[in-house]
Chains A and B, each alone.
Chain A
Amino acid sequence: SAVISQKPSRDICQRGTSLTIQCQVDSQVTMMFWYRQQPGQSLTLIATANQGSEATYESGFVIDKFPISRPNLTFSTLTVSNMSPEDSSIYLCSAGGASNTDTQYFGPGTRLTVL
């Protein structure tokens, strides 16, 4: 299994600012994903972070709002830009291997509150 860490674990931010969340995996993985979990809701995929190319965004999510970096096979960042209270959520990073038989493991999440 992969061990995934995220920084920060939680933050309280002001409206209009940006926050960058870091995700570190203890082994090389092909696929990394970023999910959002709004309060009391399920998880929704924001984007797939691809190493060496631009992230692939899901419907309803755009690069200007959620820029993603994937500089190598063990690390990714998600930035939440120009934040509003509606961005208050848990943001979770996950990782999976090269084969579709691998399991997708999740980081501990980043609890973001926007005032």
Chain B
Amino acid sequence: AQKVTQAQTEISVVEKEDVTLDCVYETRDTTYYLFWYKQPPSGELVFLIRRNSFDEQNEISGRYSWNFQKSTSSFNFTITASQVVDSAVYFCALSDGGFQKLVFGTGTRLLVSP
């Protein structure tokens, strides 16, 4: 069975600090996809990134970066120089190779204070 673990329930940082959100996954599939979504207080789910199991290259998008390591089954997300607008719940999710339905982690609430 697939499983996603986000051990950090809540993280509080001060603006401009760097913060890393952890995600560990379990799957027996050789082909799978990993996702990160942001859920601001308004409630909508905002897509941030998708990674497939064959691409272990790290990715950087502005202040966001992702570190995918198959050896440790982890897909961690780092925000550099955090801002108040980054305050949200962040979900890591996993889909198998066939049907795109997502298994979500429990989410990490990030609070960035000025």
Binding stretch for chain B, among A16-24, A68-76, A102-110: A102-110
Q: Which residues of B contact A (CB under 8 A)?
A: 33, 35, 37, 42-45, 47, 50, 52, 91, 95, 97-107
Question: Does A42 touch B at the CB level, under 8 Å?
Answer: yes
Q: Which residues of B contact A92 (CB under 8 A)?
A: 45
Q: How far apart are the CA atoms of A105 and B44 in the complex, in Å?
A: 10
Q: How far apart are the CA atoms of A41 and B42 in the complex, in Å?
A: 15
Q: Mark A54-72, 1 if CB is under 8 A from B, else 0.
A: 0000000000000000000
Number of interface residues of A (CB under 8 A): 25
The 8 Å CB contact of B91, one of A43, A90, A102, is: A43
Question: Chain A nearest CB: distance from B91 CB in Å?
Answer: 7
Q: Which residues of A contact B97 (CB under 8 A)?
A: 100
Q: Which residues of B contact A43 (CB under 8 A)?
A: 45, 91, 102, 104
